[in-house]
């Protein structure tokens, strides 16, 4: 129950911040352009609280449905406008002003992402150097000549500082046949030029990209054998006799070098016995347990009922904090926002052509779940999550779909080209099409949410 409340609160904070920033973008530019703002609402539907402020007595409102917001301006198309306000009506502004007002909301979300990412770079983002463990013998990494102890320093010429960087650069490379990894091999002398390894990635299926593409390719972090941080009562690990402090060195005879290795091996065998090779003090033990089957992401996975941690000595050896000064942090924040925006557009394109799964579309339940998880993981993680969702909201609203900001921009650009506004009939038909498209999209998102949960 506490976990549910935490997720709901985190989700409402996330949505509240993003909606307020988005609508403030519209509001501020509308005021700069001399348009009268009648209402600024957080939420849709019935107004449950409001207050009028300012020279124009703008109504600042909180509405019943907390899944968005709106800025209502004086507009003759939506109702009567006082004669004194006619010069300040939205529909009487130049097309350039209308474009600026409508575009300001999504742009505000993208600028928020820049600031939030810059804040994380100023504070310092903790991570781990991309030091690799031995890849499995038949993996793409092994075939490429990658071996344990190799350190990744760049992917396709773009510097890689941490394992998180490596994961992100690989995701950006979706659709390519292969990538070039610049490696500092184990035992290489200081300042030695990197060695280039060509890694084939075209064998990855869409489901691999949705899971853990690094592990599928054989790119695994070398954190050393993980230790057990906690064992859940009356779960397979506890019943098998595993205890806090045990060091897991292998699963079914295969060496493991990170918590992810153990999780992958355990998840792959629901309701099937597996053997953990364990070090306990000076003892070496083989412990057999049968992971419980559970549904995750629409498939059955095995769960042992334990929490693992990285070996403290390895964590200290590989730990790295990426930190920048104010100017560089803003530059990096803008760069990351740009890269994620392009990545979002590419993913939408791949979904439309069937090259990526529709399961990538998430709804409010998944967003709430991730908001709660990120908030529990710490301030930096939550701020990064806010920035990511802010980008998604900005890009989504710029799509040329009627009802969205991008749909209105499409009408205005058409007006620029033809020299006159689009007809009321075209506007009405477009609104109906947009409503149908958004209804289908929302239904799909909610269906995916329930599929993931149940």
* pLDDT at 327 > cutoff 90: yes
What's the pLDDT score for residue 187? 65
Q: Residue ranges per domain, the chain? A: 94-124+325-454, 140-217, 227-311
What's the pLDDT score for residue 26? 94
Among 143-147, 184-188, 335-339, the range scoring the smallest mean pLDDT is 184-188
Buried b (16+ CB within 10 A) or exposed e, 108-137: bbbbbbbbbbbbbbbeebebbbbbbbbbee
The CATH number that domain 227-311 falls under is 2.30.42.10
Catalytic annotation on 23?
yes
Domain pair 140-217 / 227-311, same fold: yes
pLDDT-based confidence at residue 6 (cuts at 50, 70, 90): low
pLDDT-based confidence at residue 215 (cuts at 50, 70, 90): confident
* pLDDT at 4 > cutoff 70: no
Condensed to tens digits (0 to 9), the pLDDT of residues 371-424 reads: 777 777 778 888 888 998 999 889 989 988 888 888 889 888 988 888 888 877
What's the pLDDT score for residue 349? 80
Using alpha carbons only, how large is the chain's radius of gyration in Å?
26
Condensed to tens digits (0 to 9), the pLDDT of residues 114-148 reads: 999 999 999 988 888 888 888 888 888 888 888 88
Report which of 183, 26, 45 is spatially closest to residue 103, judged by C-alpha positions.
Answer: 26
What's the pLDDT score for residue 326? 92
* pLDDT at 256 > cutoff 90: no
Half-sphere exposure (CA, 13 Å, Cβ side) for 211?
Answer: 20
What's the pLDDT score for residue 163? 86
Condensed to tens digits (0 to 9), the pLDDT of residues 47-74 reads: 898 899 888 889 999 988 877 888 999 8
What's the pLDDT score for residue 310? 84
* pLDDT at 1 > cutoff 60: no
More confident residue, 210 or 325: 325
In whole numbers, what is the pLDDT of the chain averaged over residues? 85
What's the pLDDT score for residue 25? 95
* pLDDT at 364 > cutoff 80: no
What's the pLDDT score for residue 109? 95
23, 59, 190, 205: the active-site residue = 23
Q: How far apart are CA 300 and CA 149, in angstroms?
A: 33
The CATH number corresponding to 140-217 among 2.30.42.10, 1.20.120.1080, 2.60.40.10, 1.10.10.10 equals 2.30.42.10
Contacts 24+ apart (CB under 8 A), 201-208: 201/140, 201/170, 201/173, 201/176, 201/177, 202/176, 202/177, 202/178, 203/140, 206/355, 206/356, 206/357, 207/357
pLDDT-based confidence at residue 36 (cuts at 50, 70, 90): very high
* pLDDT at 92 > cutoff 60: yes
Looking at residues 145-161, what average pLDDT do you find?
88
Question: Structure pTM?
Answer: 0.79
Tell me the sheet residues that pair with 158: 155
* pLDDT at 158 > cutoff 80: yes
* Structure-token pair, residue 265: 């091996």
Looking at residues 25-47, what average pLDDT do you find?
91
Q: How far apart are CA 423 and CA 259, in angstroms?
A: 60
């Amino acid at each position: 129950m506490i976990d549910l409340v935490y997720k709901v609160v985190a989700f409402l904070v996330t949505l509240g911040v993003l909606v307020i920033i988005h609508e403030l973008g519209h509001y501020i530019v509308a005021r700069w352009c001399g348009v009268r703002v009648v209402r600024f609402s957080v939420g849709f539907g019935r107004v449950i609280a409001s207050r009028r402020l300012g020279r124009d007595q703008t109504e600042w409102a909180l509405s019943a449905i907390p899944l968005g917001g709106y800025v209502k301006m004086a507009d003759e198309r939506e109702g009567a406008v006082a004669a004194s306000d006619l010069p300040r009506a939205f529909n009487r502004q130049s097309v350039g002003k209308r474009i600026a007002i409508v575009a300001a909301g999504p742009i505000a979300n993208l600028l928020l992402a820049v600031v939030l990412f810059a804040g994380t770079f100023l504070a310092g983002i903790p991570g781990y150097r991309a030091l690799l463990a031995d890849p499995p013998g038949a993996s793409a990494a092994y075939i490429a000549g990658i071996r344990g102890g190799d350190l990744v320093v760049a992917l396709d010429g773009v510097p890689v500082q941490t394992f998180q960087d490596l994961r992100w650069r690989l995701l950006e490379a979706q659709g390519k046949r292969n990538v070039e990894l610049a490696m500092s091999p184990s035992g290489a002398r200081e300042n030695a030029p990197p060695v280039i390894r060509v890694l084939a990635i075209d064998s990855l299926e869409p489901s691999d990209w949705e899971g853990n593409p690094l592990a599928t390719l054989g790119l695994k972090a070398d954190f050393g054998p993980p230790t057990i941080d906690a064992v859940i009562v009356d779960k397979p690990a506890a019943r098998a006799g595993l205890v806090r402090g045990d060091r897991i060195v292998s699963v079914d005879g295969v060496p493991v070098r990170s918590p992810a290795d153990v999780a992958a091996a355990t998840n792959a065998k629901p309701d099937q016995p597996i053997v953990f090779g364990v070090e306990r003090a000076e003892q070496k033990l083989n412990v057999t347990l049968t992971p419980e089957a559970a549904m995750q992401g629409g498939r059955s996975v095995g769960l042992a009922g334990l929490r693992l941690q990285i070996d403290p000595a390895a964590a200290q050896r590989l730990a790295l904090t990426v930190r920048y000064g104010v100017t560089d942090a803003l530059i990096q924040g803008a760069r990351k926002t740009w890269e994620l925006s392009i990545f979002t557009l590419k993913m939408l394109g791949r979904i439309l052509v069937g090259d990526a799964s529709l399961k990538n579309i998430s709804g409010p339940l998944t967003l709430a779940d991730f908001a709660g998880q990120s908030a529990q993981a710490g301030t930096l993680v939550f701020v990064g999550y806010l920035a990511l969702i802010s980008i998604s909201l900005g890009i989504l609203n710029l799509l040329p779909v009627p009802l969205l900001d991008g749909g209105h921009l499409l009408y205005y650009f058409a007006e620029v080209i033809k020299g006159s506004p689009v007809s009321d009939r075209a506007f009405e038909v477009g609104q109906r099409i947009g409503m149908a498209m958004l209804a289908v999209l929302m239904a799909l998102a909610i269906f995916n949410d329930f599929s993931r949960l149940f």
